[in-house]
Amino acid sequence: MKKGLTTLFLSIIIMFILAPHGYATPPQGQIEQLIQTETNLKGAIVGISIRSAKTGEVQYEYNGNTRLKPASNMKLMTAAVALSILGENYRFQTEVRTDGVIKGRTLKGNLYLVGRGDPTLREEDFNQLASEIRGLGITRIEGNLIGDDSWYDDVRFSPDMIWNDEDDYYGAQISALTASPDKDYDAGTVVVDVEPGKTLGSQAVISLVPKTKYVHFINHVTTVTPEEKAKVTIKRLHGTNTVMVEGMIPLKSIRKREFVGVWEPTGYALDLFQLALERHGITVSGNVTRGISTKSHRLAVHHSPTLSVLMVPFLKLSNNVHAEILVKELGRKGTGQGSWKNGLRVVKNELKKFGVNSDVLVFRDGSGISHINSLTANELTKLLYQVQGKPWFKTFHDSLPVAGKKDKLVGGTLRKRMAHLDVHAKTGTLTTVSSISGYARTKSGETVIFSILINNILKEDKGKLIEDKLIEIIANQSF
């Protein structure tokens, strides 16, 4: 008989014995009572693990060794391995190189923009690189502008990415040379802003952030009366960088904003760099293309923020692209090849050093977007226990969303949940999947580690409410 069912029967017996005497239901009984009676869990599978943060002892489990889809709880594995192997102070770098020589104000040769995986490159960073080139006295490049993204392989989507996610920000393509439109570092995306026109019946006003010639839009949005509701759809056409914008937007209404994943982000980064060169008075006589920099020397370099800084938007905002870049970077560092296959091999091997039995788990990506990923609640809490002894644990812990903290770079995906509890945890959501794993302070002052994985639930938002109820039971009781 399953341990969960055995525990349930014992809990029911204890409830009947103790109830007449006025004793409260033990937390184990409360958890299982909630699971058995919650209508939104009918037909669903729940995995729960609760572990002492002090001793590592499993205090309670329910299907704790059952493999379940983790959604973005997979990022806990990726983050821990990245901090362990790369280190808190690791920085990505981007170089500008040339195979030519400078004669007067002319660079005779090709100019290379060489990517090493940095997901934080923004328009201002390309401007800085262009400024450094201009500082060398160069105003003309007699050669090609070439983007070198060979640091990673050229596979842009993780193995199980479904086609209708490909133009969403969370499904953006992965390249060693990419660009971000914002300080949240949503790499590989461009922001499409739609605002009403000045008069009824006029076309809406559409703009891109950052401004780029790489992405084009078709404007089929009409300005309507203030009483009507906005209805705007923004969709990039497959295999292109043409964005179809359709619908209607009320006069004087607030803008509609959406992040769209670009097709081939290497070209996107190259376009932003070319525009920066033009702003600094530098012209390129040749073509703009992809290639590999050989027999070249460096003219300028840009370093990303440290990995400890990057962990904040990665975990708090659950950035999928960061996860996949980290997997490829781990593959590059560990095997010399920046691919999902090699990166995930490094992840599984490193997890074994934490005592995690990765041989019984299934890894398909670093973000958790695949429905084939399979983790167990017990292995997740084991990881969260083991990392407490690592020198980088504070960075890891501080990067987790904090319940009820309204600042999105503090509360992250928990900023609107459980404000009355002291919880640091990573959330996860996929279609039919809801998950949360992390640390909770109980009313007795003890820290407990927990993992809750819910699969096959019809409404993920109901899963969040159930998780909150379960965590409240965990935080308000002693095991």
Residue with tokens 């029911």: 12
Q: Where in the chain is the domain with CATH 3.40.710.10?
A: 38-89+308-476
What sign has the CA pseudo-torsion 396, 162, 376, 45? positive
In angstroms, what CA-CA distances link 114 with 152, 265, 393? 11, 13, 32
Q: Which fold has domain 93-154+264-305?
A: D-tyrosyl-trna(Tyr) Deacylase; Chain: A; (3.50.80)
Reading the block at residue 396, the tokens are 């890891």
Q: What is the pLDDT of residues 20-78, one digit of tens each?
A: 333 456 778 999 999 999 999 999 999 999 999 999 999 999 999 999 999 999 999 99
Q: How many CB atoms lie within 10 A of CB 400?
A: 25
For residue 277, give the amino acid letter: L
DSSP string, 50-104: EEETTT--EEEEESTTS-B--GGGHHHHHHHHHHHHT-TT---EEEEEESSEEET
Query: Is 72 tagged catalytic?
Result: yes
Query: Is 75 tagged catalytic?
Result: yes
CATH superfamily of 38-89+308-476: DD-peptidase/beta-lactamase superfamily (3.40.710.10)
CA distance 245 to 278: 29
Q: Of 11, 72, 293, 358, which one is the catalytic site residue?
A: 72
Answer yes or no: are the C-beta atoms of 316 and 412 closer than 8 Å.
yes
| DSSP state, residue 198 | S
The predicted pLDDT at position 12 comes to: 44
Reading the block at residue 70, the tokens are 């983790």
Answer yes or no: are the C-beta atoms of 338 and 329 closer than 8 Å.
yes
CA distance 259 to 275: 21
In angstroms, what CA-CA distances link 248 with 64, 92, 94, 191, 251? 49, 42, 41, 19, 10
- The β-bridge partners of 290 are 147
CA distance 439 to 196: 45
Query: Is 318 tagged catalytic?
Result: yes
Residue in 258, 216, 259, 269 with CA at minimum distance from that of residue 240: 216
DSSP string, 238-281: TTSSEEEEEEEEETTPPPEEEEEEPSSHHHHHHHHHHHHHHHTT
CA distance 105 to 108: 10
**Has this prediction a pTM greater than 0.85?**
yes
Q: Of 75, 256, 382, 464, which one is the catalytic site residue?
A: 75
DSSP string, 332-381: HHHHS--SHHHHHHHHHHHHHHTT--GGGSB-S-SSS--SS-BB-HHHHH
| DSSP state, residue 315 | I
Q: Where in the chain is the domain with CATH 3.50.80.20?
A: 93-154+264-305
Residue with tokens 């400890």: 308
Answer yes or no: are the C-beta atoms of 413 and 467 closer than 8 Å.
no
Answer yes or no: are the C-beta atoms of 187 and 321 closer than 8 Å.
yes
Angle between helices 27-37 and 460-476 (to 10 degrees): 160
Q: Of 11, 49, 304, 318, which one is the catalytic site residue?
A: 318
The predicted pLDDT at position 457 comes to: 98
Helix (H, G, I), strand (E, B) or coil at 455: strand
Answer yes or no: are the C-beta atoms of 418 and 406 closer than 8 Å.
no
The predicted pLDDT at position 479 comes to: 66
Q: What are phi and psi of 120, to 5 degrees?
A: -105, 0
Contacts 24+ apart (CB under 8 A), 201-204: 204/232, 204/245, 204/249
Low-confidence ranges of the chain (pLDDT < 50): 1-23
